Chains A and B, each alone.
Chain A
Amino acid sequence: MFFHAGHYKPPNMASVARLPSLSSVGGHVTQQMLQQLPSPAKLGAIVTKKRPNAFVKGKRDSGNDEKSVNTKIETERYRNSYMHNLCLDMLKDGFHHSFCELFNLMKHEKEQQQKLGPDSGLQDQPLVQDQPEKLEQMKAHLTAAEAAKRRGKMDVVYSCYLTLATYFEQSGDISFSNHFYKLCLEASVKVLGDGRRKEAEANFNMGVTYEKQEYYIEAMQCFEHFYALTNGRLWQMEDTGRTLFSMACESLQNVYTTLAMQLKTSDPSESIAYLLKAYKVAKEGDDLEGRGDASYLLGCAYLDNDDAETALLYHNEYLNVCQENEDVTGMGKAHRALAKSYEKQMDIESAVKNLESFVELSEKSGDFREQQRACSAIGEMLNTLGKYEESAMYIEKAYKLTKKMQEEENKELVRTEYGIVIANLVMFGLSQAMDTTSTQNIDKLLHWKRSRKDVFAASVSIPRNFSLEKVVDYHGSDEDIKIEQDPEQNENEVIPDVTDTEQTKPVETAE
């Protein structure tokens, strides 16, 4: 029923010009105000004055009226935020895609920050929308890109996005650079006439960004594209002259390797699958070192998987690669790995042979650490084989090296090993003397009992300062005498070792 009262049909246009009085509404005061309301006196006066002009010619209308509008817009600009004005400028010039891009990015950033909450520590970081410099950069390149897009010059679009992506990468706004790399990729697909080189490059860039953020699967996909696109092409980097294809191989290998390492414990077979892929691409690339690394890792993986035979294959390849490269350290590594594989295959002889070359090579390389490792490794091996004299020789060497390196922890470890080996040696001699009775042996035994000095193996010089006696004491008596060569020595570490060798010893001597 109210509607009927208000359903007022204007008889002509004049009724539009002035709001009809709403007689049925409100009290006296309201009535008065209502009459004033629709057309404020001042403004109405201005407008009616200008009105004839306005209809004669649009352009002429400029006079006062336009000025007032302009100043209105001007004053508004003071009130608006920088970002707001920037958006308005873009839109006004017709760059609506740029506007959408920028606006949504800002919105996304803000939402992201809010989502993470005040505890994230991001709250204090300034938003890009409050950084005029970055906004200007974005505006400049986005609008350039949009203009180029309209003209169909996709390569310009691509380079614009690329500039932005690198710009934000340098300024540390990773999500932004990421976004622009994505746009690069989209634009690059449409670049024609360069045999898809731009697409390949965009894929590479995208892959690198993904890799940096540890999205390895995505990175892998990008690199695979890159690889497929560069395969068989002779494109080169302008500055280094390196072919893109070799870069593809290298980056793809890296990603595969990383993925394989991630899966190492959870899914060994998948891990090996990745390593195989890495090996395959490494072989195609011209980088020998990469190929070597791939085969070494693959060998290690197979070894962990108890497939020593295949492991040998790849370790041998690694050795060959290192030989080609004259990489002494690498060769040493290869020999050690080979030795491990042989050991697993119970082919002790080959293992020892490899270890010996490992020692030799490590001496050549002059790296003390490697040398010590080599000596220790071969010493341990020989110890288990029951060749105590040789073992003692190597371990001694290792011990001396640790002294040179001044690494306390390692030194203690090697020292203990040394003790074990020498104890084994004496024990071996003693039991032999006991077994075969002869006057000579009885003499030796008596001498031993008297002096507790080694007389069984003359070939090995046992340093007097080394507390052999304590070790020997331990072997001589049944009681658990503490080894007191060093108060800091960890007993737990030593005692099981000793008993271990003691347990295995009779078996070996029996053989």
Chain B
Amino acid sequence: MPILGSEEDRQHRKNQQLIRQKQMIELCRTTGQKLLFEGKYESAVPAALAALKFAIQVYGLSSIELVPSYLILGEASIGLNKLSQANEYLSQAQWTVLKTPECGNEIKSRLYRNLGLLEAARKNYFDALSHLSNDVYHSSCAYGTDDIQTSGGYFHMANVFYRQNRLDVAFSLYNQVIDIWNGHLSHLVDQRTREPEVTTGLIGQMISGDNANDIDVLGEAQEAEAIQVLNAVLELREQQTVQNASIMCKVYYTLTMLHFILNDSKQAEEFAGKAKTACENIVSGDAGMAEKISELSKAIEQIETPTS
């Protein structure tokens, strides 16, 4: 049993505790976010609650640091169709944001995204669009208009437009989402294929510390978001009776890249094949795209051989 230590000891222990708590907040939040993207709303709640609890311990009750947890709780409630519940959480978050003038654009963006989702779930499409517009605006301020963080806002807007049956707008937005992911994933793939020791070795999450410095990694939550968003778009696109080959090709290609980065070579290969056929169907032809696809296929084969 530890005896009461000296002042120094206690200070040290306090600091240690604080650091651990902060780490826990981070872990719980990420877990919660990831579970949300995977659609496991029920399991996201305890994670968010834990994050909230630690946040209260560390930062106090009215801190802006509590907002992310509220947002996860809110989103989980929306997912569980507990809309009034969600409204409570989100109102709480909004109030905190309102009282904190120095609140960053990142948090505002996420707050408005959730508010938008809530309104969309209530079928108040007009308000939903207002909120989501705000989301896109703040996110653009924080990350830029063509960042994957912003793409989420576009995606939800697209969903709302789709439900409003304004298909042209919806698909235009879906295209933008795909473009953004395409750009980001291409960047990641480039980084991996450029360095041979990485393409043959470990990819994505398992990259060791020294390599991680020069390679951007898709975060866990981002991974989940990518899978969700891209698959949703693909599904919608495949449902359409008239399909535009070049757009389909792009969607397939983006998915190929995603699975390549997730180290799922089987899926990657499958999508690469689909991308190839789609590419061949493009009326005017697209040599650049075909080349990119074949390059990526080679890279996929490369990761397959050492493991098998």
Contact = CB atoms under 8 A, between A and B. Distances in A.
A91 B132 contact: yes
A91 B45 CA distance: 31
A66 B124 contact: yes
A99 B146 CA distance: 11
A90 B157 CA distance: 12
A88 B134 contact: yes
Contacts of A30: 56, 61
Instruction: Find the residue from A19, A66, A69 having the highest chain B CB count within 10 A.
Output: A69
Contact of B80 (A16, A58, A73, A99): A16
Nearest to A77: B130
Given A2-B24, A47-B88, A8 B82 contact: no
A51 B83 CA distance: 8
Interface stretch (B169-177, B186-194, B283-291): B169-177
B124 A13 contact: no
Interface stretch (B47-55, B267-275, B294-302): B47-55
Contact of B124 (A47, A58, A150): A58
A33 B56 CA distance: 11
B231 interface: no
Interface in A25-83: 25-26, 30, 33-34, 37-40, 43-44, 47-48, 50-51, 54-55, 58-59, 61, 66, 69-70, 73, 76
B133 A69 contact: no
Contacts of B53: 6, 22, 25
A16 B20 CA distance: 26
A139 to B, nearest CB: 13
Interface residues of A, number: 55
A57 to B, nearest CB: 9
Contacts of B119: 69
Contact of B54 (A6, A20, A44, A150): A6
A19 B77 CA distance: 12
B50 A150 contact: no
B123 interface: yes
A100 B146 contact: yes
Q: 8 closest pairs, A vs B, by CB?
A: A58-B123, A94-B169, A91-B133, A6-B50, A100-B145, A47-B84, A88-B133, A51-B84
Interface of A: 2-3, 6-10, 13, 15-17, 19-20, 22, 25-26, 30, 33-34, 37-40, 43-44, 47-48, 50-51, 54-55, 58-59, 61, 66, 69-70, 73, 76, 84, 87-92, 94, 96-97, 99-100, 103-104, 107, 150
21 contacts: A3-B24, A13-B82, A16-B76, A16-B77, A19-B52, A33-B61, A34-B61, A40-B92, A47-B87, A48-B84, A54-B84, A55-B83, A61-B123, A61-B124, A87-B137, A88-B133, A94-B161, A96-B136, A99-B136, A99-B137, A99-B140
Given A10-B42, A26-B57, A90-B133, 6 more contacts: A22-B56, A38-B89, A43-B91, A47-B88, A69-B124, A91-B157
